[in-house]
Amino acid sequence: MGDPINCFKFGDKVLWIDRVETVSQAEIWLEVVTDDLDAATEYFQESDVVRCDEIEPLPEGFKGFWISSPSNIIHLVTNSD
């Protein structure tokens, strides 16, 4: 795939820089971590936020899912466990 992934810590935040040869432009993807994934799922459903699990396959048994903001920024919603 090319160069290894780089990451930088800013306090409790981590910035990941991935090189993906199939992506033709820079993209920003964010991660939202929750201690109650079921409540987050329900909140997003009630708010008409559509899941976008086709964005990228997640590992079998992974506790999380993909959503997109109205401005098309991808978010990975994960459980803090």
Q: What is the CA radius of gyration of the chain?
A: 14
Contact 75, 32 (CB under 8 A): yes
CATH number belonging to domain 6-79? 3.10.180.10
pTM listed for this prediction = 0.74
Hey, where are the domains in the chain?
Answer: 6-79
Residues 19-78 have pLDDT tens digits of 777 777 878 888 999 999 999 999 999 999 989 999 889 999 999 999 998 888 899 999
User: Residue 14's pLDDT band (boundaries 50, 70, 90)?
Assistant: confident
Contact 7, 16 (CB under 8 A): yes
